[in-house]
Amino acid sequence: MKLQELLKNTKPLAIVGDVDVDITGVNIDSRKVKSGHLFVAMKGTQVDGHQFIPKAIELGAKAVLCQDMPEAKAEGVTYVQVADTEDAAGKVATLFHGDPSRHLTLVGVTGTNGKTTIATLLYNMFRKMGHKCGLLSTVCNYIEDEAIPADHTTPDPIELNALLGRMVQAGCEYAFMECSSHAIAQKRISGLKFAGGIFTNLTRDHLDYHKTFENYRDAKKAFFDGLPKTAFAITNADDKNGMVMVQNTKATVKTYSIRQMADFRARIIEMHFAGMYLDVDGHEVGVQFIGKFNVSNLLAVYGAARMLGKAPEDILVTLSTLHSVSGRLEPVQSPDGYTAIVDYAHTPDALANVLSSIHEVLNGKGQIITVCGAGGNRDHGKRPIMAQEAVKQSDRVIITSDNPRFEDPQAIIDDMLAGLNKEQMKKVVAIVDRKEAIKTACMMAQKGDVILVAGKGHENYQEIKGVKHHFDDKEVLHEIFNA
């Protein structure tokens, strides 16, 4: 593709060299550059990509998109200066991959919790309704049946557009994706055309990156600010920031709620460990999910499907056949008559919600033993609050390691324990080794009890000092139960 074509949606401040050159690839990482590529230099959180321009040219880059025009220029290379390479990267990448979002019905989900659940359920639902679909999510990316491992919630703009391009080639009509706050702030989704956006909720997370809650909220809001007039914006009326999210959007706003008047409403009729009976917009439906927050998630799915033109009856019939997403309130039954639940709750709010969901079902008939930790090299402030939330709603708590990353596991545990007073500490033991912690919980549990293993959900690794060691909470539980 000609460089000139690729620059169609960007406003170059200066161009040095020929724009009538063929570009065979677009890259933001010099290490991946091949002959004929366009290298986009971005100012990152760790390094300034501009310093890799010579490296990219050495590897064959024919053109460079930059924010700062380098003094020394290589012969035969075209230099294009723009005000914001982060924004330009997505716009260029999407054109290079055939502008896929304009050939798909693309729906994005943002918010602190529930993104994976909602995006995955929409993907499962629309496939069951006979459509070809793609999914971009924390757990895994999919192009129809083909699984493509995910290392981000939202891939970088190059991979993101490449994946969307492959979805179009595979004949997909719909794509459902998670839009993380990092991805929105870093403009990974720049240049994409969304048919709709969904807001789940907003609670404390990622303050290590966004610094303040307001910045974090505004990052999420920027997604709705950027939606076109043709799109829908579905928001959670039960969340304090639900209406803030959509206050400046051009999209058609719809609300969902389990507590008040809204465009899409639901209420719980009955709940047990196998599922719930709901009233959704006046229709009764049985679903294989538990927890109030899942009613909100299901409503968001229902609302989006309605906005995408599906009939209420068809949506609800399909909804009743869907089951829990990997590592989200996923039960593992012990032979001794207690239930272990693996869940990805890794924020104070998610932990509190999961525990109250378990209480709603348990109804005082058993004890709750919680095993949880907090990730290393992430928000330190959430650690003591997570410990408090765990203690508040559990009978016993085992504080352990999550992904320590580059931090000392014991130091993370100490940060968590610092949130507890003497009285609360009586319920708590700290065991650094996660497997030992899970084993200990299993030894404590009696018939009828529930063990919540929180924080890692679907993850099949534990990241220690840059190395991912195989570790899978569900597998550990099965191992213990079969021993």
Ligand X SMILES: Nc1ncnc2c1ncn2[C@@H]1O[C@H](COP(=O)(O)OP(=O)(O)OP(=O)(O)O)[C@@H](O)[C@H]1O
Ligand Y SMILES: CC(=O)N[C@H]1[C@@H](OP(=O)(O)OP(=O)(O)OC[C@H]2O[C@@H](n3ccc(=O)[nH]c3=O)[C@H](O)[C@@H]2O)O[C@H](CO)[C@@H](O)[C@@H]1O[C@H](C)C(=O)N[C@@H](C)C(=O)N[C@H](CCC(=O)O)C(=O)O
Ligand Z SMILES: N[C@H](CCC[C@H](N)C(=O)O)C(=O)O
Binding residues for meso-2,6-diaminopimelate: 378, 402-405, 455, 459
Going 474 to 480 to 482 to 483, the CA torsion angle's sign is positive
Residues numbered 170 to 209 that lie near ligand X (CB under 6 A) are 178, 180, 200-201
Residue 328 and residue 309 in contact, taking contact as beta carbons nearer than 8 Å: no
Distance CA 345, CA 300 (A): 19
CB of 184 to Mg ion, least distance (A): 14
Using CB under 6 A as the criterion, what x/- string covers residues 356-375 for binding ligand Z?
Answer: -------------------x
Q: Which does 354 bind (CB under 5 to 8 A by kind): ligand X, Mg ion, ligand Z, none?
A: ligand X
Is 456 one of the binding residues for ligand Z (CB under 6 A)? yes
Q: Which is nearer to ligand Y, 67 or 257 (CB)?
A: 67
Q: Which is nearer to ligand X, 79 or 293 (CB)?
A: 293
Q: Which is nearer to ligand X, 25 or 114 (CB)?
A: 114
Is 330 one of the binding residues for ligand Z (CB under 6 A)? no
Is 363 one of the binding residues for ligand Y (CB under 6 A)? no
Is 430 one of the binding residues for ligand Y (CB under 6 A)? no
CB of 138 to ligand Z, least distance (A): 6
CB of 112 to ligand Y, least distance (A): 8
Helices (H), 170-277: 181-185, 207-210, 213-225, 242-245
Is 90 one of the binding residues for ligand X (CB under 6 A)? no
Is 115 one of the binding residues for ligand X (CB under 6 A)? yes
- Binding-site size, ligand Y (CB under 6 A): 22
Write the CA distances from 44 to 40, 41, 50, 162, integer angstroms: 12, 9, 10, 21
Q: Which does 370 bind (CB under 5 to 8 A by kind): ligand X, Mg ion, ligand Z, none?
A: none
Cβ neighbours for 148, distance < 8 A, ≥ 6 positions apart: 140, 141, 142, 163
Q: SS3 helix, strand, coil % of the chain, rounded to 5?
A: 35, 25, 40
Exposure class string for 25-43: b at 16+ Cβ within 10 A, else e: bbbbebeebeeebbbbbbe
Q: Which does 456 bind (CB under 5 to 8 A by kind): Mg ion, ligand Y, ligand X, none?
A: none
Q: How many residues in total does the chain contain?
A: 483
Q: Which does 116 bind (CB under 5 to 8 A by kind): ligand Z, ligand Y, Mg ion, none?
A: Mg ion
Pick out the residues of the known binding site.
Answer: 30, 111-117, 153-154, 180, 186, 188, 378, 402-405, 455, 459
Distance CA 354, CA 454 (A): 9
Is 220 one of the binding residues for ligand Z (CB under 6 A)? no
Burial class (CB in 10 A: 0-12, 13-18, 19+), 324: buried
Nearest to 79, CA basis, from 137, 134, 29, 21: 21
Write the CA distances from 325 to 208, 261, 289, 354, integer angstroms: 28, 28, 10, 14
Using CB under 5 A as the criterion, what x/- string covers residues 152-181 for binding Mg ion?
Answer: -x------------------------x---
Q: Which does 52 bind (CB under 5 to 8 A by kind): Mg ion, ligand Y, ligand X, none?
A: ligand Y
Q: Which is nearer to ligand X, 10 or 255 (CB)?
A: 255
3 state SS of 199: strand
Is 49 one of the binding residues for ligand Y (CB under 6 A)? yes
CB of 309 to ligand Y, least distance (A): 29
Distance CA 139, CA 306 (A): 26
- Among the candidate windows 7-15, 107-115, 219-227, 408-416, which touches ligand X by CB under 6 A? 107-115
Is 260 one of the binding residues for ligand Y (CB under 6 A)? no
In the numeric block, which tokens belong to residue 360?
Answer: 């709603």
Is 116 one of the binding residues for Mg ion (CB under 5 A)? yes
Is 414 one of the binding residues for ligand Y (CB under 6 A)? no
Distance CA 283, CA 298 (A): 14
* DSSP annotation string for 139-181: SEEEETTEEEE-SSSS--HHHHHHHHHHHHHTT-SEEEEE--H
- Contact residues for ligand X (CB under 6 A)? 113-117, 138, 153, 178, 180, 200-201, 293, 296-297, 328, 343-345, 350, 353-354, 457
- Contact residues for ligand Z (CB under 6 A)? 153, 346, 375, 378, 402-403, 455-456, 459
